C-alpha cells in the first residue's frame, strides 16, 4: 500500500478487529496505563484521516501496541518516516550484553524505553558476608524521561558463579516488578521495573530494588556495572563482614586499576561524576583459603 497513512490505518484496524475490541474499550485499556487518547482520535487513526504526530500521541503508540497484542514497533514502524521522532545514537543492548544468555533474557523483556531514560544517578551497595559470598545488592536509580511515555526500566544482573542459585529481585520503592526472566545456567536474571504511571518528558523517577542471594550466595570477587549511557553520578559501595576482610581491593575502570582502602566500617567505594559509557567496578581478593562450612 503506497499511502503511509493508509498503511498505519490498515495495521491498526486489523489489530483492533483481531482483538475484538470496541474503540471505547481500547480507550479504557489505555487509560488504565495512564494514557489519554480520545475515541475520536482513535477513529481518525484507523480510518486514515490522520496519523499520530504529536509527542504525546507518538508516546502512546507502544502502549497501544501492548493493548492490541502487537509486537513492539509493529504499529510505529508503519508510520510515515517523516513523522518518526529522531533517536539519539546509543549502543544497542546487544553491544552492551553480547553474551547469548543475557541477549536471550533481554529478548523476552520490554526494552523499548531504555534509551529514552537519561540516567542521572545510580547508587549500588553490595554486601559480602562472613563466608566471603555475596548476600544483598541494593540499588537506587534516578532517571529522567526524554519523551512522553516511558513506564518501565529493564534491569539485568549477571553472576559468574553459576553453582549458586540466582538472587531474588525485589522492588523496594518507586516501582513494582513486571516480567521477570532468568537463565540459571548462564547466571542471568532480568526484570521490568514498572513505574506507577507513564512519565512525561522531563519528568524524573527514583526506583529502588534489591537482589537477595540464596544461602550460600555466589562466591564472586568483583562487582562491575556496564554503563550504556552517560551518567551524572555513579556510586558503588562494597561492604565486607568484619570476619571476611579482603587483603586487596582495587577499582577498575576503562582498563585502569587503582588500589582502594577500607574505611572504619569495612567499606570500599568508588565515585564517578559525569561518567561515560563503559565498564566500571571493584575487585577484591584474599590470600588465605575461605573458611570451611560451620
**Pick from 61, 83, 105: which residue ends a domain?**
83
Could you tell me if residue 266 is inside a domain?
A: yes
Has residue 89 been placed in a domain?
no
**pLDDT the model gives residue 168:** 97
Q: How many domains would you assign to the chain?
A: 2
pLDDT, residue 3, reads: 46
88 occurs within a structural domain: no
Answer whether the bond into residue 216 is a cis peptide, omega within 30°.
yes
90 within some domain: no
pLDDT at 30 over 50: yes
Kindly report the CA angle at 138 between 134 and 140, in degrees rounded to 5? Answer: 155
Give the tens place of pLDDT for each residue, 72-105.
888 887 776 544 444 556 777 878 888 999 999 9
Residue of 120 and 87 predicted with greater confidence:
120
Average pLDDT over residues 32-53: 82
pLDDT in tens, 163-219: 999 999 999 999 999 999 999 999 999 999 999 999 988 999 999 999 999 999 999
* One domain for residues 148 and 244: yes
Cα distances from 4 to residues 57, 63, 143, 237, in angstroms, run 17, 21, 35, 52
Residue 274: which pLDDT band, with cuts at 50, 70 and 90? Answer: confident
Question: Residues 189, 167: contact at Cβ < 8 Å?
Answer: yes
Which residue range forms the structural domain that includes residue 256?
A: 95-285
Do 185 and 281 share a structural domain?
Answer: yes
Residue 79 maps to a domain? yes
Least reliable range by pLDDT among 22-36, 144-158, 208-222, 259-273: 22-36
What CATH number does the domain containing 47 carry? 1.10.260
The residues that bridge with 35 in the sheet, in sequence order, are none
Write the pLDDT tens digit of every residue in 134-162. 999 999 999 999 888 999 999 999 999 99
The pLDDT, as a whole number, for residue 1 is: 38
Tell me how far apart the alpha carbons of residues 198 and 26 are, in angstroms, rounded to a whole number: 17
User: How far is C-alpha 66 from the geometric centre of its chain's CA atoms?
Assistant: 18
Domain co-membership, 76 together with 216: no
Mean pLDDT lowest among 5-14, 61-70, 191-200, 277-286: 5-14
Q: Are strands 204-212 and 222-227 parallel, antiparallel or unpaired?
A: unpaired
Amino acid at each position: 500500500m503506497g499511502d503511509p497513512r493508509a498503511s498505519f490505518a490498515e495495521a491498526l484496524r486489523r489489530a483492533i478487529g483481531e482483538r475484538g475490541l470496541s474503540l471505547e474499550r481500547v480507550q479504557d485499556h489505555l487509560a488504565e496505563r495512564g494514557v489519554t487518547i480520545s475515541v475520536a482520535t482513535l477513529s481518525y487513526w484507523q480510518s486514515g484521516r490522520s496519523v499520530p504526530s504529536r509527542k504525546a500521541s507518538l508516546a502512546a503508540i507502544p502502549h497501544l501496541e501492548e493493548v492490541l497484542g502487537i509486537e513492539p514497533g509493529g504499529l510505529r514502524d508503519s508510520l510515515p518516516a517523516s513523522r518518526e521522532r529522531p533517536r539519539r545514537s546509543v549502543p544497542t543492548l546487544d553491544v552492551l550484553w553480547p553474551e547469548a544468555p543475557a541477549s536471550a533474557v533481554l529478548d523476552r523483556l520490554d526494552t523499548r524505553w531504555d534509551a529514552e531514560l537519561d540516567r542521572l544517578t545510580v547508587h549500588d551497595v553490595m554486601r559480602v558476608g562472613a563466608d566471603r559470598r555475596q548476600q544483598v545488592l541494593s540499588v537506587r536509580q534516578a532517571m529522567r524521561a526524554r519523551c512522553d511515555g516511558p513506564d518501565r526500566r529493564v534491569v539485568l544482573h549477571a553472576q559468574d558463579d553459576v553453582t549458586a542459585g540466582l538472587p531474588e529481585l525485589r522492588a523496594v520503592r518507586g516501582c513494582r516488578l513486571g516480567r521477570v526472566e532468568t537463565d540459571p545456567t548462564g547466571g542471568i536474571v532480568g526484570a521490568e521495573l514498572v513505574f506507577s504511571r507513564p512519565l512525561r518528558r522531563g519528568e524524573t523517577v527514583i526506583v529502588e530494588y534489591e537482589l537477595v542471594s540464596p544461602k550460600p550466595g555466589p562466591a564472586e570477587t568483583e562487582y562491575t556495572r556496564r554503563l550504556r549511557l552517560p551518567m551524572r553520578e555513579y556510586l558503588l559501595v562494597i561492604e565486607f563482614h568484619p570476619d571476611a576482610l579482603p587483603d586487596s581491593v582495587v577499582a577498575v575502570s576503562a582498563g585502569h586499576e587503582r588500589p582502594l582502602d577500607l574505611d572504619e566500617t569495612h567499606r570500599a567505594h568508588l565515585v564517578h561524576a559525569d561518567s561515560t559509557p563503559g565498564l566500571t567496578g571493584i575487585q577484591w581478593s584474599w590470600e588465605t583459603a575461605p573458611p570451611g562450612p560451620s
